[in-house]
Amino acid sequence: MNISGFIIALFLLLTYFLQRGSKGRVARILEIVSIVLILLSTSVGHWLIAARMRALRAAMILPIDQVRLGDPRRMEFNSLHGYSVNALALAMIAALVTLVVFSRKQQN
C-alpha cells in the first residue's frame, strides 16, 4: 500500500506542474503540501518503519503473536506498528485533501 501511494503521489507531483487552471493560491499550496505529505509519509512508512519491523520480525524467529509481551523486540515492534498506522492515516488524510482540492478545481 505504501509503495502504490508513493508512486501515485510521485505521479501527482510530476503532473502538478503541467496543470493549468484558475485555482487560488491557497488551493495550490494546499494541494502541493498534501501531495508532499503523501510522498513523505508513504516513503517513511515503507522504507524506514516497515523495514525495521521486518528486521525485528526476522530476529524474533517465532511469529510475533508468540513472542512474550515484555520482550524488548516485541515492545519495539508494537511501537513501530503504531507509527506505521499513524503514517498511513496521515497519507490517507492528505490524499483526501488532495482529492477534494482537485475535484473543486475541476468543477470551476
pLDDT band at 52 (very low <50, low <70, confident <90, very high): very high
Number of folded domains in the chain? 1
Query: What residue has cell string 524488548?
Result: 72
Type of residue numbered 52: R
Q: Which domain holds residue 78?
A: 2-107
Find out whether 87 and 45 touch, Cβ atoms under 8 Å. Answer: yes
Instruction: Residue 103: name the closest of 21, 25, 41 by CA.
Output: 21
Q: Quote the pTM value.
A: 0.86
Residue 27 reports pLDDT greater than 80: yes
Phi, psi of 99 (to 5 degrees): -65, -45
Mean pLDDT of the chain: 92
pLDDT band at 16 (very low <50, low <70, confident <90, very high): confident
